[in-house]
Structure 1
Amino acid sequence: MTLQQAELEETDVAHDEELPAAIRAIRTRRSGHNFDPDAELDDETLEALIRDAALAPSSYNLQPWEFVAVQDDDRIDEIVDLAYGQEHIREAGTAILVVGHTEAETADRVFDEWEDAGRMDEETADQTKAQTVEMYDDDQMGRDLGIRNASLAAENLLLSAHARGLKATPMIGFDQAGISELVGLPENKIPVMLISVGPSGGEEPERLPRRDVAEILHRESY
């Protein structure tokens, strides 16, 4: 058993609880702006957040995501400017750029793993890989797939931070070209989301109202 598997077993949620911890985390997580500017996010915790993020589902398990962590003070200042002056990024001390793939660059490895695990035979794996690569070859589809899959990983990161007593705030309001240049993203990678994360500085204002289920749930058709 790997260390990661052991950690997962230790933190598995009993499904017969009155309100499982996973549900509590979803219902209590907040996108806050009150960080402790005097506390730092250590490397071990940062790596744990990314490990949890990488457990998110993805189409065919391609895992088409990367993460760029920025903690250097000068570079954080540049991130704040590129995020239109969102000062809580500076107070958090860590900014994580969630990056999506726009090409199926992991396809060879991933479909070999499907075959090695006995989940697909060789013919099926080859056909499915070819179809997947073809989908990514369409520029719009490749962009959409990169955003959709990386967004799932971003939500895992937010929930992991909350479970660890940290505060994390997702942002899509930033200069995409500027931040791509700052962190040196290749042309086939897309900046999906920016997340400020760090130790909490205290309570946040009450959550603003959420739309009622009756307003947002449609049955059978819109």
Structure 2
Amino acid sequence: MSEAGQQPKSESDVEFPAAIEALRTRRSGHNFDPDTDLDTETLEAVVRDAAFAPSSYNLQPWEFVAISDDERLEELVDIAYGQEHILDAGTAILVGGHTDPKTADRVFEEWVEADRFDAETGEQVKEQTVAGYESERAGRDYAMRNASLAVQNLLLSAHARGLTATPMSGFDYEAAAEFVDMPEDTVPVVLVAIGPSGGEEPERLPRRDVDEVLHEETF
């Protein structure tokens, strides 16, 4: 609160307070209800929300592989180095990202149809974009950056629906890709355990303060 007893402008002028509340209260929990399954309708809704994430030129280079079969989840626990909460969650989503902008033809046609580019400019921009991801390093960065944005949307959507969702980067990436028959031009980015909440989680661990992480003009 300010000296006058009023909230600072950054807080009082928030247009979507529920969105702020969601991102500040979201937790990467491990307490799932093992007796309740995630229904297909909710799974689809969460993925639909994830796909509203921003991406480079709207190329949307993400894929979602949901695993809920009990035997396959047990295999996935081994791939994830023994993270047993995957079984309690009842569903795991392996989020992958394209290393090659293979949606470019379709997406840039949509840009032209929406009158964002004329046909000639659209073709030029598409060629430049595709060329920019030809190297292995650039392609992998493209996959990781864009798919990670979708993961955060997925986590927030799960939280908004009262679910628990935990992102995991600690797993065998090659084994995970083989496990779901992932194409060669797509790489695993994040594994998410998701399911109905089992109740309260431990108190949140401290976050680094804004004064520590915010740098203005230079580092």
Please state which band the TM-score falls in when normalised by the shorter chain: over 0.9
| Cα 1:24–1:153 shift into 2, 3 Å | same
Shift of 1:157: 0.2
SS at match of 2:112: helix
Give RMSD over aligned pairs. Answer: 1.2
Structure 2 counterpart of 1:95: 92
| Cα 1:67–1:117 shift into 2, 3 Å | same
Matched, 1:49 2:43: no
Match of 2:136 among 135, 139, 162: 139
Partner Cα separation in structure 2 for residue 207 and residue 131 of structure 1? 44
Deviations 1:137-156 (A, max 9, x none): 11110100100000000000
Structure 1 counterpart of 2:183: 186
- Which structure has the bigger radius of gyration? 2
Matched, 1:68 2:65: yes
Partner Cα separation in structure 2 for residue 191 and residue 171 of structure 1? 11
Indicate the larger mover: 16-25 or 41-50.
Answer: 16-25
Partner Cα separation in structure 2 for residue 152 and residue 84 of structure 1? 25
Partner Cα separation in structure 2 for residue 65 and residue 99 of structure 1? 6
Shift of 1:17: 6.0
Query: Which 4+ stretches in 1 moved above 4 angstroms?
Result: 15-19
Q: Paired residues, what number?
A: 208
Structure 2 counterpart of 1:11: none
Indicate the larger mover: 128-137 or 23-32.
Answer: 128-137
Structure 1 counterpart of 2:215: 218
SS at match of 1:169: strand
Structure 2 counterpart of 1:9: none
Structure 1 counterpart of 2:145: 148
| Cα 1:128–1:154 shift into 2, 3 Å | same
Match of 1:122 among 99, 119, 122: 119
Identity %: 67
SS at match of 1:66: strand
Shift of 1:18: 7.7
Partner Cα separation in structure 2 for residue 74 and residue 176 of structure 1? 19
Shift of 1:59: 0.5
TM-score, normalised relative to structure 2: 0.93
Partner Cα separation in structure 2 for residue 18 and residue 116 of structure 1? 32
Deviations 1:137-188 (A, max 9, x none): 1111010010000000000000000000000000000000111111001111
Shift of 1:124: 1.2
SS at match of 1:67: strand
Structure 1 counterpart of 2:24: 27
Partner Cα separation in structure 2 for residue 197 and residue 165 of structure 1? 11
User: AA paired with 1:185?
Assistant: M
User: AA paired with 2:113?
Assistant: D
Long gaps (5+) in structure 2 = 1-11
Structure 1 counterpart of 2:83: 86
SS at match of 1:100: strand
Structure 1 counterpart of 2:3: none
Partner Cα separation in structure 1 for residue 205 and residue 48 of structure 2? 31
